[in-house]
Amino acid sequence: MPEAGASRRRIGVLVSGRGSNLQALIDAVGRGDLAATIAVVISNVPGAAALDRAAAAGIETLVLPHRDWPSREAYDEALAAALRDRGAELVCLAGFMRRLTGRFLDAFGGPVLNVHPSLLPAFPGLDGPGQALAHGVKVAGCTVHLVTPELDAGPIVAQAAVPVRTDDTHDTLAARILVEEHRLLPWAVGRVLDGGWRLDGRRFLDV
Ligand code: GAR
């Protein structure tokens, strides 16, 4: 297992709620499956449970409530500055329920990854599992993608599929998808940090 120290890649994680994907990242780092240091966890929602998970793991937490900033752009610049100040070179959106502008992406400058509970481009936006059930698809899943200013539309790094069962409820389907999110997100973060990839248009490819 790599030593914790200055040479480890520093990542920032943005959250808004429960934080189970954050926990998957914390656990992957702890197991030595993800060679990175989580430098900071930032929530736009005060009191988010994810903050407790970060604190329990000894990770710095920061609450930046978006309503405290006069504009979306001003908020995004403050967020990017907080991440850069802590040496983050990659940002992971782990249940961060707020759109980021191009201003954030430009100001941060590094890769930004998002985990989403659907097989994009199907069912962007809120409640991927609910949209999948309502549409009647037979296969659902999750996606980790690079973030662009368009909602849930950036180049896809990894996807995992799960079957939709006849007796599925929203909760059973969401839980089955979440298991795959927890596996996929740490893998995708490591993949992007490791390098050896390029974009060909929208396609995320090995070099
Ligand atoms: C996850 O299912 C994540 O994919 C989703 O919110 C949930 C957060 O759970 N994100 C989105 O829908 C973003 N469009 P968590 O807080 O337990 O990680």
- C-beta 145 within 6 A of ligand 1: no
How is domain 9-206 classified at the architecture level of CATH? 3-Layer(aba) Sandwich (3.40)
Phi, psi torsion values for 136, nearest 5 degrees? 85, 25
Active site residue 170: no
For helices 20-31 and 49-56, the axis angle rounded to 10 degrees is 20
Query: Angle at Cα 188 formed by Cα 186 and Cα 192, nearest 5°?
Result: 120
Cα(177) to centroid(ligand 1), Å: 10
**Whole-number Å distance between alpha carbons of 138 and 41:** 35
Tell me the pTM.
0.96
pLDDT in tens, the chain (207 residues): 444 445 799 999 999 999 999 999 999 999 999 999 999 999 999 999 999 999 999 999 999 999 999 999 999 999 999 999 999 999 999 999 999 999 999 999 999 999 999 999 999 999 999 999 999 999 999 999 999 999 999 999 999 999 999 999 999 999 999 999 999 999 999 999 999 999 999 999 999
How is the chain split into domains, by residue range? 9-206
Question: Which atom belonging to ligand 1 lies closest to the Cα atom of 128?
Answer: 12
- C-beta 42 within 6 A of ligand 1: no
Question: Which atom belonging to ligand 1 lies closest to the Cα atom of 19?
Answer: 16
